[in-house]
Structure 1
Amino acid sequence: MKRYKLLLILLDALLIDLAFFLALCLRVDFKIPPNFIIAFRNNMLVIPFIQIGVYMLFNIYSILWQYTSTKELFRLVIAVIIGSTGALSFGTMIGHLLPRSVYIIYLLIILIFMAGSRISIRMLYRLLKDETLSLRSLFGKEEASLKKRLMIVGAGEASSILIKELQKEFYGENDIILAVDDDRRKHHANIHGVPVRGTLPQIPELAQKWQIDKILIAIPSASKKRIAEIIKICNTTSCQLELVPPLSQTIDASFGLKNLRRVSIEDLLGREEINLDNTQLQTYIHSHTVLVTGAGGSIGSELCRQIIDLQPKKLIIFDIYENNAYDLQNELLQKGVSKELLEVIIGSVRDKDKLRYVFAKHQPELIFHAAAHKHVPLMESSPEEAIKNNVFGTLNTALLAKEYQVKKFILISTDKAVNPTNVMGASKRICEMIIQALKGSSTEFAAVRFGNVLGSNGSVIPLFKKQLEAGGPLTVTHPDIIRYFMTIPEAVRLILEALTFAKGGEIFILDMGEPIKIMDLAKNFIKLSGLELGKDIDIKITGLRPGEKLFEELLLNEEGLQTTSCDKIYIGQPMELSFEVLLEKLEVLQASLYDEETLKAAIKDLVPTYTYTPQITHHQTQVI
């Protein structure tokens, strides 16, 4: 780039002196008097410095003239006029002033020279580019440019900025071939020299025709649902995918190539951002003491991040696993959170005495109960641990919340609690029953039920990442298994929103959108990782695990469904439960912990919809 600038400066110096000489010759009809020759000699050494100095002030040498537009040419004209005025002023000061008409002629000639040189650069670049394309078609990729061939999706403001940024890479690795847009009025137009050639449904056809290597999606104003649709179209090609994030995050003074990112699995969900009513939430959280159990986990830690933004009086981070709690504490402190706002406590919800100590000392006013064992296969092999931690941990925390008159208690539940086929899901249904049975106390108890969250510890995406890093294969338990998914931040925003609706005994059910086939998720994960299924990596069908269902449900038949003012949160009708009867059954459950058959019978007595599914085994795994 420095050589490019230096060559332009030398070219301009020659053109300036040539223009000045031609202006003088034209003025005197090519018969130059001796005194004019002396004046010309004195001027020709200094005028290039004046003119080029003005060009530098106007950043003329920062413009890539192969992509010039009228805006850049106008800037050049202004710089030329000011530089010529400077030349006239210099001649006046040193007393070697030539006839004023020489400077007027000089201005006209230098304008032609400067504009012509820049336009010539642009034409030469286009000619060489077309020649390169011809070589590609004649000799193939081996003989052609090694640059990646790009397609831009979108022909709006973001695409314009993106193309200009890419074109600044004078020796860059990208070659922008075309753009596509559904607005047919833009077809056959050019964006900084890049042609707009078709619509979005034509992406696969155009990608093949023009041998595209990478597709950049540059429609930050589009809804997430629309972006997901575009990604699905692009996924039918073999191209790499990148995108410009939403408008609010990108189109600003600092927008550039750094904003581009790889398409992620989250983008395929097509779920819109949830805007919380922070004003209402702050009335509950601002200047209040908040306790989050299981705070080191995926949901618990995100709860802490979002709660701290609402300025609580104190945030109590309670977790049995000290490493996660320590990492979360450091993360919040590094973000500028005051150490006095945080209280990190290592302990288990099974330990009622430890919990009582925490309640007595800190007097929490709001509780988000996220502590739980959640891994279905592990809890099938250790069912007593699911009951001790999930059921009796919830009972301990809830009874102390009632005793210490906590204002609100929100249980984090799961769709696996509906018609459960595994101990983990059944244990969470019992937790919901505890919350519902405590309805009517001074503490407003409620539960929030939702499906899988992408990227949570132990979930499918981190598993796929590890399998990918190990060289594969990716494992899927059944080709038809489906699950509901949402992102961790979205789930937590809805949990916080549900807090404002809680009156006591409700089970809030989050709108999870459409269920997704895990097989499709695995295929998309491979695609977005830049690999090819069957060539670079395989998918292996391993068979359903103990307690695993092909699909999950979000609602019991008898619960019904009510809407709220938030279109993504629904309320399951509270069920009438006797806390005394429930306690009696829980005592039987506790006495059965270490006899698996008796334990499952006690679970069945508490949760009639619980069914035990024997392990489905496959003698041979299937590789796709």
Structure 2
Amino acid sequence: MPVRSLLVSLSNVFTVILSIVLAFYFRHDFSFHTPEVNYLPKVILLAVLVKFIIFLVFRLYEGMWRYVSITDLLKIFFANLIASIILLGIVSFYRSSYFPGFSLNVLLIDFLICFLTMSGKRVVMRIIREYAAKATGVQNLRTLIVGNMENVNSLIYAFSSMSSRRKIIGALCEDVKIGHTIRGVPVLGEPPSAAKCAKKHRASEILLLPPYSTPASIREIMDDLELRETKCALRMVPAYSDIADGHISVSHIKEVEIEDLLGRKPVKLDRTEVNLFVKDKNIMVTGAGGSIGSELCHQIAAYKPAKLVLFEFSEFNLYEINRKLSSEYPQLQLVNFIGDIRSEENISRALSEHRIDIVYHSAAFKHVPLMEENPLMAFGTNVIGTATLADCCEKSGVKRVVLISTDKAVRPTSIMGATKRLAEKVILERPQSSTEFVVVRFGNVLGSSGSVIPLFKQQIRDGGPVTVTTGTVTRYFMSIPEAVDLVLQAGAIGGNREIMVLEMGEQMKIYDMAKRLIELSGLIPGKDIEIKIVGMRPGEKEYEELFSADEKAEKTSSERIYVVKKNGASSLAVDVEKVRILILKNDVEAVKKLVCGYIPDHKLS
């Protein structure tokens, strides 16, 4: 039993003893000078034993006094009532032999004193807490809960036993009539009226529970114009299990993020293939400290590889990913390797020293406008670096290399996209060897470094404006964990020299995402925060594509992964050495001209 529960139980025992003594004292005209006092120790012992057991059954040792509710007081009442009935029965039955002349009225008075004392302590603690909060200026969040009766009931009970600044002002349920209460909380309406009720009752936040924490339900509430006027925060408990297991805490409650509005249907992935592929293997992740690389490391670590080599150029990124992995997976053998993906010596040493089985190649320059200004660095890292890695992997006997690619490699309009397309060609068009190569291509991931979401959030924090290129630009989006989950699966099931493409759902307008983010911040687009159209930047596309004209998608064993099949003849093979020489000569135009010959469907300016 936890220390706090033990202290509560001891307090209850003390209350039981005190109430019996006081009941006896009151019954005998405020005096202990009576023959019946000789039986008092026996009655006290019996009362402690019976009430302790009953209180355990009713779990009166749980809950925080300063959050006492009507439900808690009813539990105390019925626990004392049942205990007193049992005591009356025992004392009455054995009265002639063990308690001759002992007044049963003592037990009736004891019931009242014990109930009032136990309830009073809790009520006083709650009053003190509420007055203390007012005195210190701490304001409770006026919370409106949206959910079905079962989940609302579970959450209210959970809140009653944990520290929280939330004051639940009402609940919205379809399956409970308006005017009824759930654990003392009034039902104010049905879920569709969330915005109206929030405005009427001055709610600070709306807390969404399953089944109303789905993307469709969230969007429906957000689209209500009345919600924007309230500037009410939207928060959610995303998983029913968080409520059902009875272990909910403040940490389970999260802000509604843009990811929660994507509307992607959940698919239960079969991770058996990944487990067989990764477990007990020596694995290296390049770019291990980046957005995708770090998530790859986290998910790979969960499959218990024999060794995980973190290949990273940034000292700080390497430190951060190592710190997190060491804390989460203390038994995992981690190797920190600061290296340059363009360095054959760096790569060869990492591969040979640690006998790597599988390489996930995530290291790359990915920022489109920056690579337009620094094309030689983009070609050097994304193309030459990939070719160097592939050569070294073949020489070291690596079993499989998984290249992380991008939708920007399809009909590229930017230097970055062109370099990733060449990286795909370098991987796929190599002569056959014992090393297998797989490419995994997907769209944008939410929250990655350099993506629009962190930029929009910062612009909103700064008071605006939020800048978007045009009102019509669209992009594919996926959360980082979901993308990496699928990358691992694609890398495991993909065939040698195949391109695996992740199903990305529908493209989203960047302008609409900016509006949603402003609304999620409790602000009104165009009123509180301006959305400014700044025009397309060099290398940017109006929309993204996952397949080029000569490619078609075929289904795989996974619902969200496709394999690319080429329709036409292969284009000109990449002369890596020629690209390398032109980079050394700093001849940007010659490199671009060469690239155009390798990518017939390019749209480079």
With the length of structure 1 as denominator, give the TM-score of the two structures.
0.78
Deviation at 1:461, TM superposition (A): 2.4
The answer to whether the 8 A contact 1:585-1:602 is kept is no
Alignment equivalent of 2:426, drawn from 426, 434, 455: 434
Aligned to 1:485: 477
* CA deviation map 1:318-346 (0-9, x unaligned): 1222221222223222234447x222222
The equivalent residue for 2:501 is: 509
**1:446 equivalent among 400, 424, 438:** 438
Q: Distance in 1 between matches of 2:346 and 2:69?
A: 71
Of 303, 307, 311, the residue aligned with 1:314 is 307
User: What is the SS of the residue equivalent to 1:561?
Assistant: strand
Quote the offset at 1:561 in angstroms: 0.9
Asked whether the 8 Å contact 1:481–1:551 carries over to 2, the reply is yes
Cα gap change, 1:36/1:253 in structure 2, threshold over 3 Å: closer, same or farther? closer
1:512/1:111 CA distance change after superposition, 3 Å: same
Q: Distance in 1 between matches of 2:62 and 2:422?
A: 68
Whichever residue aligns with residue 200 of structure 1, its letter is P
Please, which of 348, 360, 377 is the counterpart of residue 356 of structure 1? 348
Is the deviation greater in 400-409 or in 585-594?
585-594
Deviation at residue 577 of structure 1 after TM alignment? 6.5
Is the 2:19–2:113 Cα contact (8 Å) retained in structure 1? no
Alpha-carbon deviations, 1:502-530, whole Å to 9, x = none? 11222111112222222332333333334
| Cα pair distance change 1:61/1:49, threshold 3 Å | farther
CA contact (8 A) 1:17 1:48 kept: no
What is the letter of the counterpart of residue 207 of structure 1?
A
Per-residue CA distance 1:91-127 (angstroms, 9 max, x = gap) = 889x87426xx42x6656766887899999999xxxx
State the shift of 1:381 in Å. 0.7
2:285 corresponding residue in structure 1: 292
Aligned to 1:190: 181
Q: Are residue 216 (structure 1) and residue 207 (structure 2) matched?
A: yes
Change (3 A) 1:426 1:108: same
Does 2:83 align with 1:79?
yes
Query: Does 1:67 pair with 2:71?
Result: yes
* CA distance in 1 between partners of 2:81 and 2:484 (Å): 56
Which of 134, 157, 179 is residue 150 of structure 2 equivalent to? 157
**Which residue identity does 1:210 align to in structure 2?**
H
Does residue 328 of structure 2 align to residue 335 of structure 1? Answer: yes
Q: CA deviation at 1:605?
A: 1.6
Are residues 227 and 352 of structure 1, via their aligned partners in 2, closer, same or farther at CA, if it must alter by over 3 Å? farther
Q: Secondary structure at the match of 1:77?
A: helix
State the Cα deviation string for residues 471-514 of structure 1 (Å, max 9, x = none).
Answer: 44333222332221111111111011002221122211111222
**Partner Cα separation in structure 2 for residue 489 and residue 406 of structure 1:** 26
Aligned equivalents of 2:468, 2:476: Cα separation in 1: 16
Question: Does 1:556 pair with 2:560?
Answer: no
Number of corresponding residues: 577
Match of 1:202 among 193, 204, 207: 193
Q: Residues 13-28 of structure 1: matches in 2 within 5 Å?
A: none
Alignment partners' CA distance in 2, 1:202 and 1:79: 45
Looking at structure 1, the residues matched to 518 and 302 of structure 2 have their Cα atoms a distance apart, in angstroms, of 36
1:240 aligned partner: 233
> In 2 relative to 1, CA 564–182 (structure 1 residues): closer, same or farther, beyond 3 Å?
farther
2:337 to 320, 345, 350: 345
1:398 is the counterpart of 2:401:
no
Match for 1:463 among 433, 443, 455? 455
Q: Quote the offset at 1:56 in angstroms.
A: 6.9
**Structure 1 residue 361: Cα displacement:** 3.4
Displacement of 1:60 in angstroms is 5.2
Residue 545 (structure 1) shift: 1.3
Matches of 2:354 and 2:113 in 1, distance apart? 79
Q: Which amino acid aligns with 1:347?
A: G
Runs of 5+ unmatched residues, structure 1: 25-31, 129-144, 614-624
Q: Deviation of residue 370 (structure 1)?
A: 0.8
Equivalent AA in structure 2 for residue 438 of structure 1:
R
Give the equivalent residue in structure 2 for 1:132. Answer: none
Q: CA RMSD in A?
A: 4.4
SS in 2 for 1:305: helix
Match of 2:34 among 22, 38, 56: 38
Identity %: 36
Q: Partner letter of residue 34 of structure 2?
A: I
1: CA distance, partners of 2:324 / 2:69: 47
Q: Is the 8 A contact 1:214 1:241 kept in 2?
A: yes
**TM-aligned CA deviation for residue 46 of structure 1:** 10
Deviations 1:110-147 (A, max 9, x none): 66887899999999xxxx9xxxxxxxxxxxxxxxx964
SS at match of 1:413: strand
Aligned residues of 1:273 and 1:490 also touching (Cα < 8 A): no
* C-alpha separation in 1, matches of 2:69 and 2:213: 36
C-alpha separation between the residues in 1 aligned to 2:569 and 2:383?
A: 16
The AA in structure 1 aligned to 2:421 is: R
Using the alignment, how far apart are the partners of 2:193 and 2:204 within structure 1?
16
Residue 130 of structure 2 is matched in structure 1 by none
What residue in structure 1 maps to residue 101 of structure 2?
Answer: 98
CA distance in 2, matches of 1:356, 1:255: 48
Are 1:609 and 2:601 matched, yes or no? yes
Structure 1 residues 291 and 120: alpha-carbon distance in aligned structure 2, compared to 1, 3 A threshold: closer
Seen in structure 2, the aligned counterparts of structure 1 residues 12 and 460 have a Cα distance that, compared at 3 Å, is: farther
- Counterpart CA distance in 1 for 2:278 and 2:318 is 21
Contact 1:162–1:257 (Cα < 8 Å) also in 2: no
- Cα offset, 1:85, TM superposition: 6.3
State the 1:227 CA deviation: 5.7
Per-residue deviation, 1:53:
8.9
Q: Could you tell me which residue of structure 2 aligns to residue 425 of structure 1? A: 417
* CA distance in 1 between partners of 2:599 and 2:430 (Å): 17
Distance 1:268 1:72, change over 3 A: farther
CA gap of 1:611–1:342, structure 2 versus 1, over 3 A, is same
Deviation, structure 1 residue 307: 1.4
The question of whether the paired residues in 1 share the 8 Å contact of 2:231 and 2:523 is answered with no
The reply on whether 1:303 has 2:296 as its aligned counterpart is yes
Distance 1:371 1:547 in 2: 21
Report the CA distance shift for 1:119/1:285 in structure 2 as closer, same or farther (over 3 A).
closer
1:352 Cα deviation (Å)? 2.2
